[in-house]
Amino acid sequence: MLDQTLLVFGLLLSVALLGVVGLFTVRHFRRKKSLRRTGLSAVRGLQQLLTLIQQHRGLSNAILHGDHSLQTAIVAVRPKVLTQIEHCEATSVWLKDDNQWREITLAWAKITADFSTFTSETSFQRHCDLIAMVLNIIVTTAQRTYLVGMRGVRQKNDLAYLWQDLLVVAEKIGQVRALGIGIAVDGYCSPDRNERLQFLLAEVINASEQLLCVIPNPEVIAANIARFVATVEERILLARPTISALDYFQIASDAIDSLYEHYQSEMRLLMAAAFR
């Protein structure tokens, strides 16, 4: 009789433990899914902010090299940055209490306040520092909200490249765009600037080759990057560049935009799946 009682007690205890484990598993899954929704919304908005700051950097360099025809364009970008900052804070309320985010908003405010005193090199570096902070908070957010390790909705591929590799390639192209537009405006490429740009372009080529190995259906992206690289090599890295600043900016932007269009496409699919 005692043995039967112990057996029944043991079975009941096992069932209870399984129930508790199951409950915690369900709660963990729900929390993880909720965090992923938060993370996807946040990184999507942060990438859009990143795009605007990169555009502002390129336009700033052109203006500081003397092309004031782009003044209208840069004036149009600045309120978009502020609107996107407000959008990020509205959709990801936790950002307001994040130290990294406070540094980002402060850095942007200083760039716009001090712009009239900048040299082209100061402007370039201050923008690059700000962009590095935005890239860092995207990676941090992806890690905190379980986005790292997610797989694609269509190809079921590893999406790790979205949070780092793709954004890094876009930023490297953005740096070459910003420096190259200054050369196009000046109509002259000094040996020092040539060497600097060649170094950055080599980084673009190496990083993009690695990215194109893991990104699904990369044909359009590959074609736009190849066109951009050829433009830099054949029309910017010359003693006398043979392309206008506006045309160069557009070709560089096409390469960056194709990367970000893929990014946003994957974000839309992931968000649709996360909210089912």
| CA 206 to chain CA centroid, nearest Å | 18
- Among 14-18, 74-78, 202-206, 255-259, the minimum mean pLDDT is found in 14-18
pLDDT attached to residue 7: 62
Mean pLDDT in residue range 186-204? 96
Neighbours of 165 (CB within 10 A): 18
pLDDT band at 120 (very low <50, low <70, confident <90, very high): very high
Is residue 94 a contact partner of residue 34, using CB atoms and an 8 Å limit? no
Mean pLDDT in residue range 114-126? 95
Both tokens assigned to 194: 């040539």
Mean pLDDT in residue range 121-135? 97
pLDDT band at 26 (very low <50, low <70, confident <90, very high): very low
Mean pLDDT in residue range 138-161? 80
Interatomic CA distance for residues 268 and 262, integer angstroms: 10
Mean pLDDT in residue range 150-168? 79
What average pLDDT does the structure give for the chain? Answer: 88
Interatomic CA distance for residues 127 and 175, integer angstroms: 10
Mean pLDDT in residue range 85-113? 93
209-234 tens-digit pLDDT: 999 999 988 999 999 999 999 999 99
Q: Which amino acid is at 248?
A: Y
Both tokens assigned to 88: 């990020």
Q: Which amino acid is at 10?
A: G
Both tokens assigned to 195: 């060497």
Task: Tell me the torsion sign for CA atoms 33, 37, 40, 43.
Answer: negative
Match 């570096």 to its residue by tokens. 125
Mean pLDDT in residue range 141-146? 88
Interatomic CA distance for residues 142 and 83, integer angstroms: 23
pLDDT at 133 over 90: yes
Local structure of 151: helix, strand or coil: strand
Of residues 94 and 21, more confidence is placed in 94
| CA 245 to chain CA centroid, nearest Å | 24
Mean pLDDT in residue range 89-111? 92
pLDDT band at 272 (very low <50, low <70, confident <90, very high): confident
CA dihedral 160, 198, 240, 68 (to 10 degrees): 40
- Among 26-40, 83-97, 243-257, the minimum mean pLDDT is found in 26-40
pLDDT at 258 over 50: yes
Interatomic CA distance for residues 102 and 95, integer angstroms: 8
CA proximity to 60, closest of 177, 153, 143, 215:
177
Neighbours of 25 (CB within 10 A): 10
pLDDT attached to residue 6: 58
